[in-house]
Copies of this chain bind each other. A is one copy, B any other.
Amino acid sequence: MSVTAAKGFTAAGIAAGIKESGNPDLALVVNNGPRVAAAGVFTSNRVKAAPVLWSEQVLKGGRVSAVVLNSGGANACTGPKGFQDTHATAEKVADTLGLNAAEVAVASTGLIGVLLPMDKLLPGVDTAAAQLSEHGGEKAAIAIKTTDTVHKTSVVQGDGWTVGGMAKGAGMLAPGLATMLVVLTTDADVDGETLDKALRAATRVTFDRVDSDGCMSTNDTVLLLASGAAEVTPEYEAFAEAVRKVCDDLGQQLVRDAEGAAKDIRIEVVNAATEDDAVEVGRSIARNNLLKCAIHGEDPNWGRVLSAIGTTSAAFEPDRLNVAINGVWVCKNGGVGEDRDKVDMRYREVHIVADLAAGAETATIWTNDLTADYVHENSAYSS
């Protein structure tokens, strides 16, 4: 049900001809109110795509009445003309739907450094607007796919209200592999400030901790729109938990669909002195190409885990580190632990626990293995 699971929203997904393949490439999500509150988080890359620069401005007003998203082109590193194109897209949506362009967010994904074919995109807005429907959420989720093999949606039901959403991408928010675009909607009657608080709390421990290949996108965008159509204002904790669950579910779907990946790796850092230490160590492990290759080869090479931990500034003593892979403590006190032959790595899910023995804080980072398929997908054609 995606972005139309919550009441007050319509959506559409169509093929505008932006992609040469003829696959769907343009999505519209419209908030029909009565409320049009919104919050957003964007890539922390300093080279930001035109739609990110535009949408950051829109979100400052705390109101988003529509989101237009395209795949088939990132509109990044496209100069003043690229920004004009984003502006023209928002104006076109506003004109077509009778909205204010300053309340229309824009998101794009695809190849960097190429201008969008506006002669196809703008007529596509008319087509999409004509197909807007309370059942359009799935089509919208399909239209934002690039190298995604499946479309990603998630819904959590509250007590008389709903949070739903869609995502595309095979990676992470900040940093991000390829582009991650996420639109979440809710019919709860919640103001922009509350949306912002709940969204930041959720992304910090979900999308921000997905680190598939360490590369940060120019286009990552996560939006949360509230229509108020359910006429219910939930308790903050319940609402924030629902937003977190949807983000977590979509984040997991991104990991499972990462380009070329054969393993999904959950890195749990425990007994860290601070949560920041735990995240730093988790990211360092997640970005170690040698370890990612070893996991691909089903080799429980804990030496590469220690080598990655050693590059961080986290508090730890080398001779107190412990590492478990799939439940077997292969490294104890910085040296050889249980028999590594006991580690069963036949399955797609791999669980690494890094015990820093330096405190009580914890963090989990999700990543993937490094495979020949990843190399092929990212070298065989421009993306």
Contacts and interface: CB of A to CB of B under 8 A. Distances in A.
A381 B294 CA distance: 8
A62 interface: no
A163 interface: no
A216 interface: yes
A111 interface: yes
Nearest to A299: B382
Copies in the complex: 2
A287 B216 CA distance: 12
B380 A289 contact: no
Contacts of A177: 290
Contacts of A371: 375
Given A289-B215, A378-B293, A78 B307 contact: no
Interface residues of A, number: 67
Interface string A296-312: 11010111101111111
A198 to B, nearest CB: 27
Nearest to A46: B310
Contact of A218 (B213, B310, B376): B310
Given A293-B379, A294-B379, A336-B113, A45 B299 contact: no
A111 B301 CA distance: 9
Q: Which of A177, A293, A319, A331 neighbours the largest number of chain B CB atoms within 10 Å of its CB?
A: A293
A330 to B, nearest CB: 8
A289 B378 contact: yes
Contacts of A333: 79
Contacts of A336: 77-79, 113-115
Contact of A301 (B288, B294, B335, B382): B382
A76 interface: yes
A370 interface: yes
Nearest to A312: B46
A118 interface: no
A175 interface: yes
Contacts of A297: 378-381
Given A46-B311, A115-B336, 4 more contacts: A47-B318, A77-B306, A113-B331, A216-B310
Nearest to A301: B382
A311 B175 contact: yes
